[in-house]
Amino acid sequence: MKIKGIFFDLYGTLIIYNDNPKAWADWISTFYNCLKNCGLKLSIDSFAIKCDGFFGKDEPLPKNDRLTIYERRIQRLCKELSLNLNNKQLRFTANSCLNAWHEYVSLDPEAIPILKEFKKTKKIALISNFDYPPHIYSVLRDMNIYRYFDSIVISGEVGVKKPDPEIFSIALEQTNLKNNEVIYIGDAPEDIQGAKAADIYPILIQRDYLDRDSLITDYLSNQESLKEYQTNSIFKDVEIISNLKELFKVVS
């Protein structure tokens, strides 16, 4: 069937990681300084160990507190550290840390030309695993790509994340497309696994010039614990592109 829609991941796909080790170093430093101003007494080294795998831990249970998952993660850690931050302080900490981390990413120069061209004839959706939806909307507007999407599905907003196929179903419903009418482009195992589970044709983007540091998607106090995504068996027999322009060959 003719391709009528193109669904994208965001980070690692439309947005490029430029220096992940430095990004996470600034994230932990900013996080530490925010909490230090709220009474944290630990050394930064001790605090860094407490933050190991911060985003990989189970999500805090939802509450009627108007907090995002990311803010609840911060809140949970603060309680472990005997700190009591109000919602305003949690939001300030969340924004400060993410803004520090975001200094080390950039929009792929090919992203806007690709989105602009495909927008003429296709439905375009964004499907992103992210615990702090306000940040995503801010980034999309700041990078001037918000207007290209017919559907924006963020895990922290819809309550389900890749590789669960349900998050893809939401984008399909919002674009009024069927799974065999779209392709999905992502850079991580959960992108490929989720697309396959949703019966959507997956495409893996692996930029040749990026090294293993670009795969660090969580704060790790010991970077050697990172597992190489390239060895993941889910990538077997998956179509691979090395840059966004190659999508024209796939879609034509």
DSSP code for 11? B
CATH of the domain at 113: 3.40.50.1000
Whether 118 and 239 map to the same domain: the answer is: yes
Q: How does pLDDT run along the chain (252 residues), one tens digit per residue? A: 689 999 999 999 999 999 888 999 999 999 999 999 999 999 999 999 999 999 989 999 888 888 999 999 999 999 999 999 999 999 999 999 999 999 999 999 999 999 999 999 999 999 999 999 999 999 999 999 999 999 999 999 999 999 999 999 999 999 999 999 999 999 989 999 999 999 999 999 988 765 555 566 777 766 554 444 444 566 778 899 999 999 998 887
Whether 89 and 112 map to the same domain: the answer is: no
Boundary (domain end) residue, out of 59, 81, 102: 102
Whether 93 and 179 map to the same domain: the answer is: no
Total domain count for the chain?
2
Question: Two tokens at 87?
Answer: 């919602």
Q: Where are the alpha helices (DSSP H) in 81-132?
A: 87-102, 111-119
The boundaries of the domain holding residue 36 are 21-102
Whether 33 and 135 map to the same domain: the answer is: no
Task: For 9-62, list the strands marked E by DSSP.
Answer: 15-17
Residue 56: helix, strand or coil by DSSP?
coil
Whether 197 and 95 map to the same domain: the answer is: no
Whether 93 and 165 map to the same domain: the answer is: no
Strands 239-241 vs 15-17: parallel, antiparallel or unpaired: unpaired
